[in-house]
Amino acid sequence: MAVWLLLRFTRRYEPPSDSSDTQRQAITTVHFDLDEREIERYWTLSEHDLLRINRRRRDTNRFGFAVQLCLLRFPGWPPRPGDKVPLPLLAYVAQQLEIKADNIEEYFRRQPTRSDHFREILDLYGFRSYNQRAEQELTDWIRVEAHHWNTPTGVFMALLDQMRHRCIVLPAVSQIEHLAWRVYRQVEDEALGELAGMLSALQRSELEDLLLPSIESDDRNLTWLRRSIGSPGAKGMLDLIDRLEFHPRHRVEAGFGERDQPVIAAAAGRPRLPPYPAASQGV
């Protein structure tokens, strides 16, 4: 138990990615910041797309269907009544359809037509709703790939791209955050548990000694190792030398943990994560 506590508390805590409303809004409106090349990359309609779109008789329906399709591709969230779409994106779609970029507000106000088109796009293009099956699929992916990132934020951003790649309609940002942090925490716990289990009896004893509370001011323990060195000077330099000399006696062999599971080595340098709060259903 003491070894586990040491592995936990030798790492700096990082607050959970409980993003503010402003940060979440920035993520869901990332398409407002696309440059010309990115607009062409994400919002270009193929000949196959155009054939399907041109089956609509009215320009408004053709335009609305195309915009819904592009929004589902990037950024990945379906449009909601009142949502604004950047004018450069609307102009680019209208240019491809050879129609005027107007009346889009009227289209999004017509709930039945918009909903029918949304269901049709899901069916035609293989988009999937985020459900329990999709969550398990993404959980398995995170568990395999988590060692590529040093923070849950990296996993979160990669997860957004992976969901787009798998044509999964993005749910609320808070749900994606919760999935990324929950699985990341699980992978980290398993890695640290395996790491602790691989320690020798001598290493365990030495590490447990670091958890003993300080009695004298010069005690060498975890508190001393984590204490800030302070301003540059002779005293700080001597303190640093003491720590450098102390460290090799408690060092784990090079490559420790990499032989069996790469994520163990990655977890050793990550900040310890606090429990993530339950996901909300809003943005």
Task: Pull the structure tokens for residue 253.
Answer: 């062999």
pLDDT tens track for 220-240: 677 777 777 777 788 888 888
The residue ranking higher by pLDDT, 125 or 222, is: 125
What pLDDT does 140 receive? 97
Q: How many CB atoms lie within 10 A of CB 43?
A: 22
- The string of pLDDT tens digits covering residues 245-257 is 776 655 555 455 4
Contact between residue 74 and residue 43 where contact means Cβ atoms under 8 Å apart? yes
Q: What does pLDDT average to over the chain?
A: 79
Q: How far apart are the first and last CA of the chain?
A: 39
Would you state the pLDDT for residue 246? Answer: 73
* pLDDT reported for residue 14: 47
Categorize the per-residue pLDDT at 271 as very low, low, confident or very high, splitting at 50, 70 and 90: very low
- Cα–Cα distance between 233 and 228 in angstroms, integer? 13
Contact 91, 83 (CB under 8 A): no
1 contacts: CB under 8 Å, gap ≥ 6: none
Contact 146, 263 (CB under 8 A): yes
- Give the pLDDT score at 40: 96
